[in-house]
Amino acid sequence: MARLVGIFGGTFDPVHNGHLRVALDVAEAGDLDQVRLIPCHIPPHRDTPEVTAARRLEMLSLGAADEPRFVVDDRELRRDMPSYTVDTLRGLREAFPDDVLCLLLGADSFHGLPRWHRWQELSDLAHLVIMERPATGTEMPESLGRWLPGRQADDWAQLRRTQAGLVLFQTVTQLDISATELRRRLAVGGSGRYLMPDAVWRYIQEHGLYCRGGG
């Protein structure tokens, strides 16, 4: 039987409980076989105090370790250049030709979709599962509103019947945590405790990450 595989990309700079909880919510709601967590390259000009890709990957591995359905997938970091999601999905489609692929997107990311490279091809390769996120303040752009009708699924049973092409809005636990806000907090000496798994917070402290002059 075809497996249901979730794909959750992000900067994970650092991974936090918002990411992990919503990924688990989706895994449970859809009875997914696995969720692949895929850290992306970060453009060098981004405002982050020298946290390397290797460290983001280690933090993600620590954060995901206790959930058997989470698989950390470093395929984008193994390439020298930033990857387009459409190319990553194509690679996954080739690697898992028989599986149903579901691309997990926070609502803010979904609203920004028309700015993504060849975004209309994404749904040829996977279903899109949109997770509501608190305080995003973003709205669905018109182009997306025009694209959506006819693609929206009502439930997971519909997603299971085809390999790609549908969009499902999934309610998830509302956790108002963002990596940007976390980095701000850590930069001024604040604590990350209870906002991320303990193992990730310990790692950040041990390596002096995200604090001014740390790295």
Residue ranges that bind ligand ATP, judged by CB under 6 A: 10-13, 18-19, 22, 105-106, 108-109, 131, 133, 175, 177-180
Name the residue nearer to ligand ATP (CB basis): 136 or 205: 136
Name the residue nearer to ligand ATP (CB basis): 39 or 166: 39
Position of minimal CB gap to ligand ATP: 106
Closest contact distance (angstroms) between CB of 75 and ligand ATP is 16
Closest contact distance (angstroms) between CB of 8 and ligand ATP is 7
Closest contact distance (angstroms) between CB of 199 and ligand ATP is 18
Name the residue nearer to ligand ATP (CB basis): 2 or 77: 77
**53-64 vs 198-206: helix axis angle to the nearest 10?**
150
Q: Measured between alpha carbons, how far is 170 from 111 in angstroms, rounded to an integer?
A: 15
Name the residue nearer to ligand ATP (CB basis): 127 or 133: 133
Around Cβ 29, how many Cβ atoms within 10 Å? Answer: 16
Residue 16 Ramachandran class (φ > 0 left, ψ -120 to 50 alpha, else beta): beta
Closest contact distance (angstroms) between CB of 1 and ligand ATP is 28
Name the residue nearer to ligand ATP (CB basis): 131 or 186: 131
Instruction: Name 103's bridge partners.
Output: 7, 128
Closest contact distance (angstroms) between CB of 147 and ligand ATP is 18
